[in-house]
């Protein structure tokens, strides 16, 4: 643990200026800043506004801020936190902190880790602070800063966050500036928690139910029985022989297998404007919405995504990213994807239902039977600008009449890219 000495000193709240030490002449402006934090600062859609607006208003109150940063814990599958930095006369930027050991090591060398452990403010007089005190100290010195203040912000959920301020002013953050900060920082923490809580809810819903569905839930579509019909191209895909392959793997290796598999499928879907509605064990269901008087654009997008997914999977197999070769069966159909709230009591699920979804699933079951990686229905083929090849009509479970099935003609199937040689 870092030992405090004359270089690294306790800051507020233990022995810093109390809020009642605030200069009465500054009080109206400080109250206005607190009001702004809970209004525009907490609610404006621009994520950079809170830090930049807070810093600029502090300057108006006589607090010599030249650099300000925030570090906010995030609940996201792709990153662990968000850092924002504001530089006077230069504006705001942000960075995402990745999950993993490297990010943790950087955090442990930072002042934020110290203030989170100690639960108190940290004030550094930079010219007399050793370079090895914290990882950022040499950078701050090189940029000419005289004093650095790091403040822990602990949200009601218990998550540890923070704000830091740095100044080039030789006198640093004196008693008057610290009094202003003591007065406004609790409100800053509340405004940041409002924004962070809203962002967490938005992130989690988008991650688990998809973009359009999460918007529907947030808008109030949470009553059991509500159904939304979406005219779209439907893509159903699943891994062939997953049960056999996964039986040879540990649960952890099986999860890695699925993640690598979906890394081949999902990016092409999203790149073509599609949306994954459901992960179904070793498969997924995605839709490409028909917009207005769709003349085949959604079908072409779905087909392009499917072809790209097949090429990516082929490349992954050739690169040895799987323990054994992996194949996929993809079915394409055009119709209605109906999804809505199904369940009981307070536990509901947004699930996808309807005959068109069932048909896409049944066609996918024919991929292995016909030895084809990509099949499509007549309704889908009719929306294409090309000329798919018919494979006859087939009996599908749950459908009274045989269903016509199509595939791409050989001339329309792109060849996989050749592997580069070691010298190429």
Q: What is the pLDDT of residue 121?
A: 96
Task: Kindly list the distances between the CA atom of residue 42 and the CA atoms of 114, 189, 198, 214, in Å, as whole numbers in the listed order.
Answer: 27, 10, 10, 21
> Would you state the structure tokens that stand for residue 335, as one six-digit string?
């119709």
pLDDT in tens, 221-267: 667 777 778 888 999 999 988 888 888 889 999 999 999 999 999 99
Q: What is the pLDDT of residue 349?
A: 76
Name the CATH topology of 212-412. Alpha-Beta Plaits (3.30.70)
Q: What is the pLDDT of residue 413?
A: 62
Cα gap 268→304, rounded to integer Å: 8
- Write down the H helix ranges in 49-174: 49-60, 101-108, 111-118, 137-142
Q: What is the pLDDT of residue 60?
A: 96
Confidence bin at 97 (pLDDT 50/70/90):
confident
Mean pLDDT of 300-316: 94
* Percent over 90 (pLDDT), the chain: 55
Q: Is the pLDDT of residue 75 over 80?
A: no
Q: What is the pLDDT of residue 343?
A: 81
pLDDT in tens, 21-54: 788 899 999 999 999 999 998 898 888 899 999 9
Q: What is the pLDDT of residue 292?
A: 72
Q: Is the pLDDT of residue 162 over 90?
A: yes
pLDDT in tens, 356-392: 999 999 999 899 899 999 999 999 999 887 788 999 9
Mean pLDDT of 168-178: 94
Query: What is the 3-state composition of the chain as percent helix, strand, coil, each rounded to the nearest 5?
Result: 40, 25, 35
Q: What is the pLDDT of residue 1?
A: 36
Within 13 Å, how many C-alpha atoms sit on residue 232's CB side? 25
Spans of all domains in the chain: 8-208, 212-412
pLDDT in tens, 334-351: 998 887 778 887 787 777
233's CB contacts (< 8 A; 6+ apart) are: 287, 288, 290, 298, 299, 301, 302, 332, 333, 334, 380, 383
The answer to whether 113 touches 107, Cβ cutoff 8 Å, is yes
pTM over 0.75: no
* Superfamily of domain 8-208 in the CATH hierarchy: GAF domain (3.30.450.40)
Q: What is the pLDDT of residue 133?
A: 94
Name the 3-class secondary structure at 384. coil
Q: What is the mean pLDDT of the chain?
A: 86
Q: 């055009």: which residue's tokens? A: 334
How are beta strands 328-344 and 347-353 bridged, if at all?
Answer: antiparallel
pLDDT in tens, 253-304: 999 999 999 999 999 999 999 989 888 889 999 999 888 776 688 999 999 9
Question: Which one of 6-10, 52-56, 323-327 scores highest in mean pLDDT?
Answer: 52-56
Give the sheet arrangement for strand 81-87, strand by strand. 8-10, 122-125, 147-154, 160-167, 67-73, 81-87, 91-97
Higher-confidence residue of 374 and 398: namely: 374
The answer to whether 305 touches 267, Cβ cutoff 8 Å, is no
Provide the phi-psi class of 155: left if phi over 0, else alpha when psi is between -120 and 50, else beta: beta
pLDDT in tens, 215-230: 766 666 667 777 778 8
Gyration radius of the chain over CA positions? 28
């Amino acid at each position: 643990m870092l030992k405090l000495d004359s270089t690294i000193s306790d800051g507020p709240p233990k022995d810093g200026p109390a809020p009642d030490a605030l200069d009465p002449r500054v009080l109206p402006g400080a109250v206005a800043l607190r009001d702004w934090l809970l209004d525009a600062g907490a609610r404006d859609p621009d994520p950079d506004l809170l830090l930049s607006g807070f810093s600029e208003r502090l300057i108006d109150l006589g607090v010599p801020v030249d650099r300000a940063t925030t570090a906010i814990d995030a609940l996201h599958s792709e990153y662990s936190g968000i850092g924002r930095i504001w530089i006077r006369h230069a504006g705001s930027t942000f960075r995402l902190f990745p999950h993993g050991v490297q990010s943790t090591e950087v955090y442990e060398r930072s002042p934020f880790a110290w203030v989170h452990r100690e639960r108190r403010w940290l004030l550094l007089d930079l010219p007399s602070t050793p370079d090895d005190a914290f990882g950022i100290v040499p950078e701050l010195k090189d940029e000419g800063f005289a004093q650095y203040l790091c403040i822990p912000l602990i949200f009601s959920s218990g998550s540890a966050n923070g704000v830091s301020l740095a100044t080039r002013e030789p006198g640093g953050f004196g008693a008057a500036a610290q009094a202003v900060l003591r007065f406004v920082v609790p409100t800053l923490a509340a405004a940041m928690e409002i924004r962070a809580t809203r962002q967490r809810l938005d992130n989690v819903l988008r991650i688990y139910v998809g973009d359009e569905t999460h918007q529907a839930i947030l808008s109030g579509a949470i009553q059991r029985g509500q159904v939304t019909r979406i005219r779209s191209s439907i893509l159903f895909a699943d891994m062939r022989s997953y049960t056999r392959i996964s039986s040879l793997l540990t649960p952890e290796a099986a999860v890695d297998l699925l993640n690598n598999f979906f890394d081949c499928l999902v990016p092409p879907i999203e790149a073509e404007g599609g949306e994954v509605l459901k992960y179904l064990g070793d498969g997924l269901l995605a839709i490409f919405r028909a917009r207005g008087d769709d003349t085949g654009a959604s079908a072409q997008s779905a087909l392009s995504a499917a072809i790209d997914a097949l090429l990516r999977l082929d490349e992954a197999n050739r690169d040895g990213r799987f323990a054994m070769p992996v194949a996929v069966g993809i079915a394409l159909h055009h119709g209605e994807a109906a999804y809505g709230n199904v369940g009981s009591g307070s536990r509901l699920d947004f699930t996808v239902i309807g005959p068109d979804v069932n048909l896409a699933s049944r066609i996918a079951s024919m991929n292995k039977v016909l030895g084809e990686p990509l099949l499509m229905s007549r309704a889908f083929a009719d929306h294409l600008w090309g000329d798919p090849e018919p494979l006859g009509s087939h009996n599908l479970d749950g459908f009274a009449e045989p269903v016509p099935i199509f595939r791409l003609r050989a001339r329309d199937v792109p060849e996989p890219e050749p592997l580069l040689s070691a010298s190429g």
